[in-house]
Structure 1
Amino acid sequence: MPPRKKAKTAEYQTTIADHWPGVPPARSSDKAEDIQVTQRRGGRRRKNPWLKDLPNLPIDVLIEIFGCLHPKDLLSFVRSCKDFCRFLLHPKHDFIWREARKQVEGMPDCPPFLSERAYAHLAFSWHCRTCARKNVRDVLWPWFARYCSTCLPDVRYIRKTIVAPLNDIDKSLTKDDGHYSLFNVVNPTEGSNSAKCNQFHRPQVDQFAREWAEAKTKNARNELLKKQRARVKERDHHAELCAEWYSNKTMDRYVVLERVRLERVWDTIDKLKAEGWGPEIEWLDWSRAYYLDNRPDIWQATKLTDRAFQKILTRLLPELDEWRKDRLAGKPAPSAIYYRHPSERYRF
């Protein structure tokens, strides 16, 4: 079997660095410089080969292009190659992310304690902050971080466990629950010992402990407490704005997907009627919502194609035959059935 060919990268590596000397060039190997054809395994050429010429564009053209993109697109470019990664993540290019953020309707301004790059990554990249696990959809806005269920217990204190480390610093910090004003708390609930409530961010607590140790005098520590409470209020204010925007964005996305699913259901019904199963569909009446709408192969947020409909029809044929027999026999339509387990509802 011939060796797998690798993409040529040497031809792009000096372009961005030539235009912007502050960006170091990416490393390359000697083998990559000798390869003339960009192919994937099996001899297939890459899709969209025009992207290979994008790094060769003048720097002002690139800036105009990036400024018109969505932050999610910029994140994709960051992961595409080392040159774009170094260019877009350079501190001097925060203005590119700022212009891209303006393309997102209703998105709050970047908090002063975050960079535009970090803000975009937090809002649009579903990765755990610690282990980079994918599909972490929930953002802990008081902490401005995403954590998967595996990493979360290691980066938090709860109501029971926060008292001991703070007492080791100074027992006056926990007097009358004064520590609640010193840290950003997730799900603050008075008197609850649940692990889902009253969660404190361990990095924030550890940073405060280091600053407390550096403040030797009483006046310095009083000043630290004042600054810490001001920082917490500022973060809570921005967290509230971001959480409201993120919730609205999620709901808007849900509405769009629901509309696509409903269109797929009605397209399926229309095609079933065209195949001659119209009397059975009308016979089901309102019960069809439980026999058609809740099927996982129908209730999908994708447009119905002829090929997908043929698969649905093949699976539905036994039930359609039974419904036709019952309808011709004068039996009433089956009533709606509620299942205890979702797997029973979706069983074919």
Structure 2
Amino acid sequence: MPPPQKKLKTTHPTADQDQNRGGFKAPAIPLPRLSTLRAAFERERKRVKLSTLPLDVLGEISNHLHPRDLLNLTLTCKRVAQFLLNPHQEYIWRNARLRTPGMPELPSFMNERAFARLLYSRRCNHCGEDNALNVRWTWFARYCSECLPKARYDGKSAYDRYYTSCAYLRDNENLQKLVNVINPSKCNDTFTRQGNYVQRRQLDQFLQEWHATETEEERRELLKQQKRLVRRRVKHAELCQLWSQTTGALERRKANRLAKLDVNVRR
């Protein structure tokens, strides 16, 4: 079998060679004048930027926005985020909630910013990524698919964590009355099978507060507050879920239509 022949090197003709052969030479693009560049720089310098607005003007503008717009505004720059996330500006978020028709009442265990983030943001409460579609209303939290298993106890783990921590709790208190349980399997005994989930943060916080108590009166008061909190969570979770299925669904469809119109206009 003869050896393969080497390919001959070829060079592409230049523009001058193409012109000599009957081709054409691309015209040179003229550079903008110096006066034109100076005018463009001057217009950019005089343009009013959001990060340079006075705080009173920024507060007046923010006081007329929707809660979703306030959340988007906190992502623009660090100065605006520090202003809107300041606890002294809580009234801005409260006014936005009151102006929004059909929005549920603020739960007593959440602040205005956290409640707006729960309803309108898609950020995961565990990792912070903007892909949290798994909303757990009874836990008042959003989790992405990767963080959801890390943020919960299954039925068996919750049973071991709770009933082995204190003999008094094991003998006198029912865990279902002290934490919010998600029970998709609908079994009779909640903590004998896997698939009945408890929020890890809620259970750990309660046990931490329980072990921090010193007197019997403090323990009774903690149990009373915890049971009241669980009932409030169930009540507000039903309202939030109803809002998500009715008013929230309409707002999401409207926001999607506006986003598509904006993309078409930019094109």
Alignment of 1:210-221 (within 5 A): 210-221=208-219
Establish whether residue 169 from structure 1 lines up as the match of residue 169 from structure 2.
Answer: no
- Using the TM superposition, give the Cα deviation of residue 177 of structure 1 relative to its aligned residue in structure 2, in angstroms: 8.0
- In structure 2, the CA distance between the partners of 1:137 and 1:157, relative to structure 1 (3 Å rule), is same
The residue that corresponds to 1:152 in the other structure is 148
- In structure 2, the CA distance between the partners of 1:201 and 1:100, relative to structure 1 (3 Å rule), is same
On the 8 A contact 1:138/1:146 being kept in 2, the answer is yes
For 2:50 and 2:261, the matched residues in 1 are separated by: 32
The residue that corresponds to 1:90 in the other structure is 86
For 1:134 and 1:38, the matched residues in 2 are separated by: 36
For 1:37 and 1:179, the matched residues in 2 are separated by: 70
- Higher RCO (CA < 8 A, seq sep 6+): 2
The residue that corresponds to 1:53 in the other structure is 49
For 2:39 and 2:209, the matched residues in 1 are separated by: 56
The residue that corresponds to 1:232 in the other structure is 230
- Using the TM superposition, give the Cα deviation of residue 73 of structure 1 relative to its aligned residue in structure 2, in angstroms: 1.2
The residue that corresponds to 1:62 in the other structure is 58
1:8-49, Cα deviation, whole Å (9 max, x unpaired)? xxxxxxxxxxxxxxxxxxxxxxxxxxxx9999xxxxx99xx9
For 1:37 and 1:123, the matched residues in 2 are separated by: 45
The residue that corresponds to 2:16 in the other structure is none
The residue that corresponds to 1:10 in the other structure is none
The residue that corresponds to 1:138 in the other structure is 134
Alignment of 1:292-307 (within 5 A): none
Establish whether residue 115 from structure 1 lines up as the match of residue 111 from structure 2.
Answer: yes
Establish whether residue 185 from structure 1 lines up as the match of residue 181 from structure 2.
Answer: yes
Alignment of 1:301-340 (within 5 A): none
Structure 2 residue runs without a partner (length 5+): 1-37
For 1:68 and 1:254, the matched residues in 2 are separated by: 20
4+ residue runs over 6 A deviation = 36-39, 254-258
Alignment of 1:122-133 (within 5 A): 122-133=118-129
On the 8 A contact 2:181/2:198 being kept in 1, the answer is yes
Structure 1 residue runs without a partner (length 5+): 1-35, 40-44, 261-300, 306-348
Which of 1 and 2 has greater Rg?
2
- Using the TM superposition, give the Cα deviation of residue 171 of structure 1 relative to its aligned residue in structure 2, in angstroms: 4.3
- How many aligned positions are there? 218
On the 8 A contact 2:156/2:194 being kept in 1, the answer is no
Q: Is the partner of 1:200 in helix, strand or coil?
A: strand
- Using the TM superposition, give the Cα deviation of residue 253 of structure 1 relative to its aligned residue in structure 2, in angstroms: 5.2
- Using the TM superposition, give the Cα deviation of residue 62 of structure 1 relative to its aligned residue in structure 2, in angstroms: 2.4
On the 8 A contact 2:180/2:230 being kept in 1, the answer is yes
The residue that corresponds to 1:249 in the other structure is 247
Q: Is the partner of 1:146 in helix, strand or coil?
A: strand
- Using the TM superposition, give the Cα deviation of residue 180 of structure 1 relative to its aligned residue in structure 2, in angstroms: 0.3
Q: Is the partner of 2:104 in helix, strand or coil?
A: coil
Identity %: 39
The residue that corresponds to 1:78 in the other structure is 74
On the 8 A contact 1:163/1:174 being kept in 2, the answer is no
- Using the TM superposition, give the Cα deviation of residue 147 of structure 1 relative to its aligned residue in structure 2, in angstroms: 0.7
Flag the structure with higher helix content. Answer: 1
- Using the TM superposition, give the Cα deviation of residue 250 of structure 1 relative to its aligned residue in structure 2, in angstroms: 4.5
The residue that corresponds to 1:207 in the other structure is 205
For 1:187 and 1:251, the matched residues in 2 are separated by: 25
For 1:199 and 1:176, the matched residues in 2 are separated by: 22
- In structure 2, the CA distance between the partners of 1:142 and 1:78, relative to structure 1 (3 Å rule), is same
- Using the TM superposition, give the Cα deviation of residue 133 of structure 1 relative to its aligned residue in structure 2, in angstroms: 2.2
On the 8 A contact 1:183/1:232 being kept in 2, the answer is yes
1:161-197, Cα deviation, whole Å (9 max, x unpaired)? 11111122224535698100100122463346353xx
- Using the TM superposition, give the Cα deviation of residue 159 of structure 1 relative to its aligned residue in structure 2, in angstroms: 1.4
On the 8 A contact 2:51/2:77 being kept in 1, the answer is no
Establish whether residue 105 from structure 1 lines up as the match of residue 101 from structure 2.
Answer: yes
What's the Cα RMSD here?
Answer: 3.3
For 1:60 and 1:213, the matched residues in 2 are separated by: 46
Q: TM-score, normalised by structure 1?
A: 0.55
- In structure 2, the CA distance between the partners of 1:253 and 1:80, relative to structure 1 (3 Å rule), is closer
For 1:136 and 1:56, the matched residues in 2 are separated by: 32
